[in-house]
Structure 1
């Protein structure tokens, strides 16, 4: 199942810089691992914002929920999820 996910991150201004750097490093490592596994299919930064638009390819809504809540930055995110399906006018037969 494919999902379009927008993540807006808002770290507290009072968070110590070392704590923020650790969270970001942990987030990056997990995001890259999930990309290598094919679960986090695409990841794009939104220019000028601490936000991204991503495409996830998971087996269920429950798997997506578990994955998103496992992200180190999850407590500091506002997340919007949209399920996707193939458009009948698409000239592509797959999601690549």
Structure 2
């Protein structure tokens, strides 16, 4: 199942810089591993904000919840999820 996930990061202003750097490093490692596995299919930064728009390819809602809630930045995110399905006018034969 494909999902569009919009994530806006809102770190508290009083979080220590060292803690922020550590969380961001862990987030990058985890996100890149999910991309290598094919579960986090696309990742785009939203220009001018600390946010991204992503496409996840997972088995079901529960798997998506597990992946997203395991993100190190999850406690500091506002997240919107939209399930996707193929459009009948698409010229592609698959979702690649």
Match of 2:30 in 1: 30
Deviation larger for 72-81 or 86-95: 86-95
Deviation >6 Å, runs of 4+? none
Distance apart, 1:95 and its partner CA? 1.6
Q: Output the aligned Cα RMSD.
A: 0.4
1:1-36 CA-to-partner distances (Å, cap 9, x unmatched) read 000000000000000000000000000000000000
TM-score, length of structure 2 as denominator length: 0.99
The runs of 5 or more residues in structure 1 that have no matched partner are none
Match of 1:81 in 2: 81
Distance apart, 1:93 and its partner CA? 1.0
TM-score, length of structure 1 as denominator length: 0.99
Matches for 1:3-18 after TM superposition, within 5 Å: 3-18=3-18
Aligned residue pairs total 96
The runs of 5 or more residues in structure 2 that have no matched partner are none
